[in-house]
Amino acid sequence: MTIENEALRSEIARSLVPDLTLEGFGSCPGKHLHGTRNGARDFQVKLDGAPTASCFHGSCIAFVEELNHELRRRIAIAESDGRKERPTLGSVAPEPRARHRAKRPAFDPAKLSKFAARCPHKITQEWLLERSPMGLMDEQGTETSELFLSELFVQGERMLVFTSQTSQGDFLYESGRGNFRLGKDPGVLPVPSALPTGSSEGVWFLSNPVTGSWLPNPNKKLPDGSEALGRRHGACITAWRHLVLESDDANESDWLACLVKLPVKIVAIYTSGGRSVHALVRLDAASKSHWDAMRDTLAHVVCALGADPAAMTAVRLSRLPGALRHGSRGKDGRLRTYPEPRMQRLLWLNPLATDTPIIESV
For Zn ion, the binding residues (CB under 5 A) are 28, 30, 55, 57, 60
At its nearest, how many Å lie between Zn ion and the CB of residue 245?
Answer: 20
CA torsion sign, 287 to 292 to 293 to 295?
Answer: positive
At its nearest, how many Å lie between Zn ion and the CB of residue 159?
Answer: 31
At its nearest, how many Å lie between Zn ion and the CB of residue 30?
Answer: 5
The smaller minimum CB distance to Zn ion, of residues 44 and 247, is found at 44
Instruction: Kindly give the residue spans of alpha helices, DSSP state H, lying in the chain.
Output: 3-16, 61-83, 109-117, 125-131, 142-152, 252-261, 288-302, 358-361
Distance, CA of 212 to CA of 236 (rounded, Å): 7
At its nearest, how many Å lie between Zn ion and the CB of residue 15?
Answer: 19
Distance, CA of 286 to CA of 67 (rounded, Å): 19
The smaller minimum CB distance to Zn ion, of residues 51 and 133, is found at 51
The smaller minimum CB distance to Zn ion, of residues 60 and 262, is found at 60
Contact 256, 226 (CB under 8 A): no
Distance, CA of 25 to CA of 44 (rounded, Å): 4
At its nearest, how many Å lie between Zn ion and the CB of residue 259?
Answer: 21
At its nearest, how many Å lie between Zn ion and the CB of residue 60?
Answer: 3
Distance, CA of 322 to CA of 193 (rounded, Å): 16
Residues found in the chain = 362
The smaller minimum CB distance to Zn ion, of residues 60 and 136, is found at 60
The smaller minimum CB distance to Zn ion, of residues 28 and 259, is found at 28
Distance, CA of 17 to CA of 27 (rounded, Å): 7
Distance, CA of 277 to CA of 290 (rounded, Å): 26
b/e map of 238-273 (b: 16 or more CB within 10 Å)? ebbbbbbbbbeebeeebbbbbbbbbbbbbbbbbbbb
At its nearest, how many Å lie between Zn ion and the CB of residue 291?
Answer: 17
The smaller minimum CB distance to Zn ion, of residues 169 and 263, is found at 263
Distance, CA of 236 to CA of 210 (rounded, Å): 5
The smaller minimum CB distance to Zn ion, of residues 30 and 196, is found at 30
